Amino acid sequence: MSKAELRRLCEKHLDLSSADIAELVRVSEELETSSRYEEVDVFIDIFDQVTREAVVVYHKRPVCSPSLYQGNVVGLEANKKNEPGVYRTMTTSLNSMGLYANSQEQRLIKQTVYPIRNDCRTIGVLIVEEAAREPHKRTSLQVEPFFHLEDAILADEINEELLVFDNQGILIKANRAAHLFYQQIGYIGRIQGLHYDNLALDSTTYDFLLYQLERQKHETETVIKYDNYHLSIKKIWTKHDDQLMMIIRDVTDIKNKEAEIISKSVAILEIHHRVKNNLQSVVSLLRIQARRVTSEEAKIALQESINRMLVIAQTHEMLSMQVEDALELKPILTSISHNIERLFTNIQPLTLEIIMTDNIYLNGNQMVSLSLVINEILQNVYEHAYPQGSMGRVIITVKKHNQIVDLTITDFGCGYNTKTAGQTSLGLMIIKSYVSEKLKGKLSISSGEKGTTTHILFKNTLEQ
């Protein structure tokens, strides 16, 4: 596999720095020349920024034995429900040793997964695979009995997941709820006999727990997010400190209900209304100031600020008139377009077209962020894409693929240097910052003599 293909896949699925990609290339080059993994399939996976699934970006087939794969799997997803070790290592940065998985070709395999790190971050994983030699099945639920019948009955009556580890960190007992939970997150077959370091979901290791125990910390409790779950995890050392008890409680419903209550409260609606009113007051003050200044540059800067505030105020106004935290995207797009057209009506005679076949709803936070981004892009088009007074055209295209919103804004103007413009343009800084930090999405801009295309992908959190 070529370096260029690996780089292409990395750039397509995740915003990695050049140093990150160089590190992944370096690891792949070492694998190509190493004799360590000559009898097994070896992969490098990264995390897709939008789908939150692992994607295969490199595959080295074994030299001394047949590969487990008949076809090419580079570019395919490694679904978290089929390959739990991959997702676990991506999320926790812990090694996952010898966990069962189902390959893309639906073959039972064993995976050992190591994090690939750069600049103190996990940027991908290295996966070593071999054929599974034991007939474990996903549907099997083999519960190791507790030592006493009374203990077993009591443990299985508990809704929380209960796991007990011996003094070497090996799981020796687990109740039914624990087995069911680990099945739900993709673990295949029995979990008895697995080490704590293969079952921990909160980035802790057994050695770290021993370190805490030495400092008289016999009990800890944390709340984490793992995949779509919110989990409260309590760890307790037994009286003689020779066993570790871990209790996992799924608090996802509680978290979801809390969010629902907050989003529907009257107080939130009133806040939206007040924010809108306050922003409009600020807009009025800025308009007064804009009429008084003589500098053309200052007038432009003030007008851009006014437009940004109007975009935010407009979204808050819509939120203040409904209980649900869900706004339809198309009316917002239309409103932003009209605001921009009014702002530049005497300057640029541009034709703006919106192509959108699906009804897309976003929550308030995402709508505010996306509205600001679209506003900045359109302002840049009106101000810089076409010579003053000339006719121009802008196309906004919005599609959805399951939970992914795909937005493209295209003009046919003179273009600009995307590498240098972002260093001085406040608008581009806002666009990049909001797409990355607020929308948790992926931004790509291509620009040349025939125009500029801005492409944005992000996950609609309203549909999770």
Give the CATH architecture of domain 3-131: 2-Layer Sandwich (3.30)
Of the given ranges (59-73, 159-173, 364-378), which has the lowest mean pLDDT?
364-378
pLDDT at 382: 84
Q: Which of 4-18, 109-123, 381-395 has the lowest mean pLDDT?
A: 381-395
Q: What are phi and psi of 291, to 5 degrees?
A: -70, -20
Is 51 a residue whose pLDDT tops 60? Answer: yes
In whole numbers, what is the pLDDT of the chain averaged over residues? 85
Q: CB under 8 Å, gap of 24 or more: what pairs does 191-198 form?
A: 191/163, 192/142, 192/144, 194/170, 195/97, 195/169, 195/170, 195/171, 196/165, 196/169, 196/170, 196/171, 196/244, 196/246, 197/94, 197/95, 197/97, 197/169, 198/96, 198/97, 198/98, 198/99
The model's confidence at residue 423, banded by pLDDT at 50, 70 and 90, is low
Work out the percent of the chain whose per-residue pLDDT is above 70.
Answer: 87
The whole-number pLDDT of residue 143 equals 45
Whether this prediction's pTM lies above 0.95 is answered by no
What CATH class is the domain 326-464? alpha beta
What CATH fold (topology level) applies to the domain 149-252?
A: Beta-Lactamase (3.30.450)
Asked if pLDDT for residue 142 goes beyond 50, the answer is no
DSSP letters along 13-47, please?
H----HHHHHHHHHHHHHHHH-STTTTSEEEEEEE
Between 148 and 270, residue with greater pLDDT:
270
Q: Within 10 A of 293 (CB to CB), how many other CB atoms are there?
A: 12
Label residue 267 by pLDDT band (50, 70, 90).
low
pLDDT digits (tens, 9 = 90+) for 207-222: 999 999 888 888 999 9
